[in-house]
Chains A and B, each alone.
Chain A
Amino acid sequence: MTISFNINGQPTSLDVDGDTPLLWVVRDMLDLKGTKFGCGKAACGACTLHVDGKAVRSCSYAVKYAEGKNITTIEGLSSGDQLHPVQQAWMEEIVPQCGYCQPGFMMATAALLSEIPNPTDEDIDNNIVNVCRCATYYRMRKAIHRAAGLQSQTAKNQPS
């Protein structure tokens, strides 16, 4: 079947079996390798991306559901050269170790901050349940708080 959607702001149309996981399409057909495969069972969060701004685990999301939607991957999180606050905070806190899980965490965090701009530790615990085998959780928590600060700073600097 033909599926059309926007990926990182670009319209795209593909001829693909509708039950193909969106993750496969993103990585293998669109060659966007930032989104990772971990478990394939919606259990680890490595494959998290955004569908219409909401966090979705793309390993378990059939591409047919993406019809007409706006998909954002880690490659599309920044606005041009302007890093997303989450990306900036991740660099400042030097979060990654091996790095494999990080795009998923960053996309989940960006989705969280769009709903809860200043999350508490409890909000973080409740919302960010991805898995990191290198156990970078401590630095991630710091980076999430820092990203919230950067985001509110950016919002203040925006002309109203």
Chain B
Amino acid sequence: MKNAHRAYLAASLLLGILVLGFSTPGAQLSEPKLPESSESTAAELTPEQAFDLMMEVLTHKRCVNCHPSDDYPRQGEDSHIHNFGVQRGPDNHGVAALQCQTCHQTENNNHAGVPGAPEWSLAPRRMAWQGLTRVEIARSMLNPENNGGRTLEETVHHLTEHELVLWAWEPGVDANGTPREKPPVPKAEYIKAVKAWAAGGAPIPEE
């Protein structure tokens, strides 16, 4: 079970990213918040700055769309309920004959506009982020009750190495061929920020 929880946590972070399936046309790629200068290193970030950067990503629709607080994945840049009434199902992979893998495989399908990545699924209910503040998300993420018993190190691994999470930066195109919006922080900067935050003791600011 623990492993399964881990897989789901990882999946959940990147899942949010995943399930954006048929997003609305016209979405624009966001500009990164940080200069992409190579001088911006983890060592230069205070834990507070790192937290802000990390949360720019974790509150983005590429993550939150698959961390819903109910039983329906979201999709698109407007985070609408997944077309066809797709549901969470008993194991977060959909229902009997309508599973995530009925349509989503391990890679994006840019011909059909169907996103895909390994372990495509919905984040478990315990990992619901939709509607939470940044502080609430961080608390939930560090709470072993919610994160599948992960240590901080394991959480960092999930946040920075899980393929489903990192899919957010390679989200492919939607059914109209329009590129999906990426998180507002470049991947390398995000990874540095997560590590800097953890290295600084993973502080969560006061609300």
Which residue numbers of A lie inside 8 Å of B, CB to CB? Answer: 19, 21, 40-43, 48, 54-57, 59-62, 65, 108-109, 111-112, 115-116, 123, 125-129
A41 and B175 in contact, given A60-B114, A61-B105, A129-B85 (Cβ under 8 angstroms)? yes
Contact A56 B101, beta carbon cutoff 8 Å: yes
Complex: A31 Cα to B113 Cα, angstroms: 26
Q: Once bound together, how far apart are the Cα atoms of A14 and B66, in whole Å?
A: 37
B140 at the interface (CB under 8 A from A): no
Q: Does B102 count as interface, using CB distance less than 8 angstroms?
A: yes
Contact: B97 with A21, CB < 8 Å?
no
Is the CB–CB distance between B97 and A60 below 8 Å? no
Which residue of the partner chain, among A21, A43, A56, A127, contacts B175 with CB atoms under 8 Å?
A43
Smallest CB–CB gap between A151 and chain B, Å? 14
Complexed CA–CA distance, A95 and B50 (Å): 60
What is the interface residue range for chain B against chain A? 20 to 34
Give the A-B pair count, Cβ closer than 8 A.
71
User: Is B99 engaged at the interface, CB distance under 8 Å to the other chain?
Assistant: yes
Residues of B within 8 A of A (CB): 22, 83-87, 95-99, 101-103, 105-107, 109, 111-114, 175
With A43-B83, A61-B105, A126-B87 known as contacts, the answer to whether A115 contacts B96 (CB < 8 A) is yes
9 closest A-B pairs by beta carbon, nearest first, are: A115-B96, A60-B112, A112-B97, A42-B103, A129-B84, A127-B97, A111-B97, A60-B114, A41-B175
Find out whether the CB atom of A43 lies under 8 angstroms from the CB atom of B98: no
Establish whether residues B105 and A62, one from each chain, have CB atoms under 8 Å apart when the complex forms: yes
With A41-B22, A126-B87, A129-B85 already in contact, the answer to whether A55 and B112 are too (CB < 8 A) is: no
Cβ-defined contact, A108 with B83, below 8 A: no
Least CB distance, A126 to chain B, in whole angstroms: 5
B103–A57 touching, CB < 8 Å? yes
B95→A41 contact, CB < 8 A: no
List 12 interface pairs A-B (beta carbons < 8 Å), by A numbering: A41-B175, A43-B83, A43-B84, A54-B101, A55-B97, A55-B98, A59-B112, A60-B103, A65-B105, A111-B96, A127-B97, A129-B98
B98 and A126 contacting across the interface, CB-CB below 8 Å: yes
A54 touches B112 (CB 8 A): no
| B10 → A minimal CB distance (Å) | 21
The answer to whether B96 and A41 touch across the interface, beta carbons within 8 angstroms, is no
Please give, as numbers and ranges, the residues of chain B lying within 8 Å of A41 by CB-CB distance: 22, 112-114, 175
